[in-house]
Structure formats: structure tokens, C-alpha cells
Amino acid sequence: MRAAVRIFHEQGVEKTTLGDIARAAEVPLGNVYYYFKTKDQLVEAAVAAHCAQLDTLTAQLDTLPDPAERLRTLVAGWVDQRETAARFGCPFGTLASELDKRDDGLDRAAAQVMRALLDWVESQFAQLGRADAAALAVELVAAYQGMSVLTNTLRDPGLMAAQGERLRSWIDGVAGR
């Protein structure tokens, strides 16, 4: 499962063969099919893994007392991953984009995870007393997804560092200090 998530991110779902995943996980190809009956089920499990990771992350952030600090820490985490983003893009955003090109229902599962992130961010802005929390959440998450695309396409992690700084200031402004 861990190997699948990593290889899907690095190579993309469509370009990845089950042989690639079996090799990365150091198991024979046949074993993959013992736990996942089809490639689609592996993709579904990968989406679920991203969902679980988001839950873990927001649970950690929720231990911080200040909503603005939670958002700044979220952004800092994105910036920390800038080298990976420069090489392979946002681990979840690139997966969601790829699933949207398919006609099965897996793109809806990806939408739920993205929705969960938006809802959590919106909740932070709402706690800061912002009536436009929903729009601010879209703005923040879109900024991250967009700078991931640019960072990846131009292979420049510095782009994400710079935009991260900007987002930090922006959060301070929105939080009203």
C-alpha cells in the first residue's frame, strides 16, 4: 500500500503498472492480486490512504490553540514538502487531477478528500470570525494547488518557498493583526 501511494505519485496512476508496484514493495506480482483484486481497488485504497493522512494531519493541527497558527503550520508543512512537489507535484492534487480524466467513480472519492480539506480550512477562518470563511478557504487551498503546479512544471522549489511566505503574511492579515 505504501509503495503504491508513492509510485502512483511519482509516475502517475496510468503510467504505473502493477509490476512497478510489486517491485517497489519487493513482493511478487501475484501477491498484489491476493490483497487487491483489481488495479482500481489499489487506486481506491490510495485515495483512502490520502484521506487518512489528512485526518491525522488536521487532528495534529487541532491541538494548536490558535486557528491562525494552525493555518500557518499547515502552510509550513506544504513548504517543507517543496522538493517533492518540484519533482512530482502535490501528492494529492496530481492524483485528483488524474482521476478526473476517468469515467469511473474514483474521482468522486478524491473530491470528498479535497472537500474535507476545504471544510477544515474554512472552519479555521470561521473561528477567526470571518464571514467569508468559505471563499477564503478556496483561496488558500487553490493557492497551494496552483503553486504546486508551477513549482512542479518549472522544477523550482523556491517558488513554493516564496509563495509560502506570502501566504503566511496573508493569513496574518486575514486574521486581523
Partner DNA sequence: GTCTATAGATTGATAGAC
Partner DNA sequence: GTCTATCAATCTATAGAC
Question: Cβ 33 to DNA, closest distance in Å?
Answer: 3
The length of the chain, given as a count of residues: 177
Q: Does 81 bind its own copies (CB under 8 A)?
A: no
Q: Which amino acid is at 141?
A: V
How many Å apart are CA 161 and CA 170, to the nearest integer?
14
Tell me which of DNA, its own copies, none is bound by residue 27, counting a contact when its beta carbon lies within the kind-specific cut-off of 5 to 8 angstroms: DNA
- Residue among 38, 20, 16 at smallest CA distance from 29: 20
User: Would you give the end-to-end CA distance of the chain in angstroms?
Assistant: 44
Question: Cβ 46 to DNA, closest distance in Å?
Answer: 13
Q: Does 78 bind its own copies (CB under 8 A)?
A: no
Tell me which of DNA, its own copies, none is bound by residue 104, counting a contact when its beta carbon lies within the kind-specific cut-off of 5 to 8 angstroms: none
Cell numbers standing for residue 87: 519533482
How many Å apart are CA 78 and CA 62, to the nearest integer?
17
Positions in the binding site for its own copies (CB under 8 A): 10-12, 14-15, 88-89, 93-94, 96-98, 100-102, 107, 110-111, 114-115, 118, 135, 138-139, 141-150, 152-155, 159, 162-163, 166
